[in-house]
Each structure stands twice: as structure tokens, then as C-alpha cells.
Amino acid sequence: MIKKVLTILVVLIIFALNTGIAKADDSVDISKINWIEGPKTVDVGNDLAELNLPDKYIFADGKDAKNIMKRMDNSVSGREQGIVFAKDTNEDWFVLFEFNNMGYVEDKDANKIDSDKLLSQIKEATEEDNKERRKNGSATLEIVGWDEKPHYDQNTHNLTWSVLCSSEDRKIVNYNVRVLGRGGVTEVTLVADKEEIENVKSDLATIISKYSYKEGKRYTDYIKGDKVAKVGGLAALIAGGSAAAKAGLFAKILLIFKKIWILIAVGIGGLFKKIKNIFKKKND
């Protein structure tokens, strides 16, 4: 039994080394990530919100989410609040939570969003971002177009849009939801292959429905005198605002690797536990 377990360990490690999956920050030790398994209610951010995590998902907090982003060669904003994966390792997607404390965003322009203009701005900023990616030796990105045009829900105060992009001949969809709050905006990004996106939109809907600001932090808790965001409305949330546009910051498109590294991080931990239990039983 022990021999079989050790063989599996060796195969996993060799596979990881040979596939070169971690080409960004190899110094990040993903084996130390504190995974929380559903069903469980978890805090998201610092006294900001909570997520009633269903059984089929796992969650890591903001600190760990930042390290995971680095490990997957993704951009890091410093605003990471948490990340969700499916427990089923055959499902290759994740949902990232970030929070921008920009203040209360007015939604008066909900019916005036110019999707064509926004797409042009996103493409332009992505090209600026690609210059840095080339310098860093990272894969560049091409914005193909809208996968789903921007739309706003007046009831939930959620702004949604989806961008189809391409990297190294792989079609990737970044499905974005902005959950408006009293003091800022929770930026929720679902990252998946184009072929998978329709299947996992329901997962995102479930996760979003289980996410809620704490009392006093909701959009409807706004009172006159609160800080109002300077971005200028909903359209600016998609484009990122003029300052971000100049820096190419809003062009951040998250890339996803196959989750073999999670299999290694979680799987090896589990296998070592099995080995420990085997020896424990032998000594009892």
C-alpha cells in the first residue's frame, strides 16, 4: 500500500516538473494554502462580506488568493479578497473576489452604456498591458470581442459583462460581475475556457447568490454624506476609469492553467496524511 502511494507521489511530482506549469513565481509555496471546504460560511475581506460556500466548492482567503494568482502567472491587484474553485478537479475554472473601496458608485448611466466604445478602450489598454507581458516573458493577450455585452440589474445592483480573449491559440472567457456596495465595489471574475463557460455560468450564479455584504455595507445602506466614487458611473467600472486606462490597469485579463498544481498541492497533502495514518495504525 505504502509503495503504491509513494509511486503516485513520484508520478505527480515528475509530471509537474516536466509540464512546466509554474512559470511565474516559483517561490510561492502552494502547499501552505489554507483551503476551506464547503459547506461553510466564510468571511470575504475584512468585515466586508460573507459567502455561504456550498458543498461542491473550496475557498481560499485574500492572502492565499494573491499567492495563487502569482503561481498561475496572473496579474495581482493587491485587492484580492478570496478565490473559489470546484472540488471536482476535472473542472478547470475559478472565481476571484476583489474589492475596490472607491466609494458609492452611482448607477444613473445604466441605460447609456456604449458597449462598442468600451470594447475599443479595452482592446487599446490590453495592447499596453501586452508590452509589459512581453518584457516579463508572459503570454500576450488578444481581445476577440464581447462574449456577453454589459448589462445591469437594478434589483441586485450587479453589473455583468463578459470578454472573449485569446492567448497562445487558446480561447479564454473572463466573465465579470461587479457587486455594488455602500463603500465600493466587489469585483467578481469567473475565468474559464470558452468551451466551458456556458456550463459554469450556473456555478457563478450560485456563488454570487451566496455572497452578501454585511449589514451596513450594502448598496442600499448608503446615506447622504457617504463617500461617492469619482469613476463617473457604471461604464467606468468596465473601462476602469481614465487614470487606469492610461496605465493599462483595467486590461488585466486573468489566465488559467490546468489545475494539476492544485492536484499536487491538495493531493500530496492528502496522500501524506494517508501515509501517516498507515504508520499510526501499524504502531497501535
| Domain extents in the chain | 1-21+260-284, 27-257
Query: Each residue of 43-76: pLDDT tens digit?
Result: 999 999 999 999 999 999 999 999 888 877 677 8
Query: In degrees, to the nearest 5, what angle opens at C-alpha 96 toward C-alphas 89 and 243?
Result: 150
Q: Is the peptide bond preceding residue 150 cis, with omega within 30 degrees of 0?
A: no
- State the cell numbers at 159: 453589473
pLDDT tier, 123 (very low <50, low <70, confident <90, very high otherwise): confident
| pLDDT value of position 24 | 45
| Among the listed residues 55, 10, 15, the one whose alpha carbon sits nearest the alpha carbon of residue 258 | 15
| pLDDT value of position 115 | 93
pLDDT tier, 23 (very low <50, low <70, confident <90, very high otherwise): very low
5 Cβ contact partners less than 8 Å away, ≥ 6 residues apart:
271, 274, 275, 278
Fold for the domain defined by 27-257: Protein Transport Mog1p; Chain A (3.40.1000)
Judge whether residue 243 has pLDDT over 80: no
pTM comes to: 0.75
Strand order in the sheet with 211-213: 40-44, 49-53, 211-213
Query: Each residue of 98-115: pLDDT tens digit?
Result: 999 999 999 999 999 999
| pLDDT value of position 29 | 67
Burial class (CB in 10 A: 0-12, 13-18, 19+), 44: buried
Strands (E), the chain: 36-37, 40-44, 49-53, 57-61, 80-86, 93-100, 142-153, 158-167, 170-180, 185-193, 211-213
DSSP assignment of 21-90:
---S-TT--GGG---EESSEEEEETTTTEEEEE-TTEEEEEHHHHHHHHHHTT----S-EEEEEEESSTT
Query: Each residue of 144-196: pLDDT tens digit?
Result: 999 999 999 999 999 999 888 888 777 877 789 999 999 999 999 888 877 88
Task: Work out the number of other CB atoms within 10 angstroms of the CB of residue 136.
Answer: 10
Q: How far apart are the C-alpha atoms of 152 and 140, rounded to whole Å?
A: 30
Average model confidence (pLDDT) across the chain: 77
Q: What's the distance, CA 111 to chain centroid?
A: 27
User: What is the percent of the chain where pLDDT is above 90?
Assistant: 42
241 and 232 Cβ atoms separated by less than 8 Å: yes
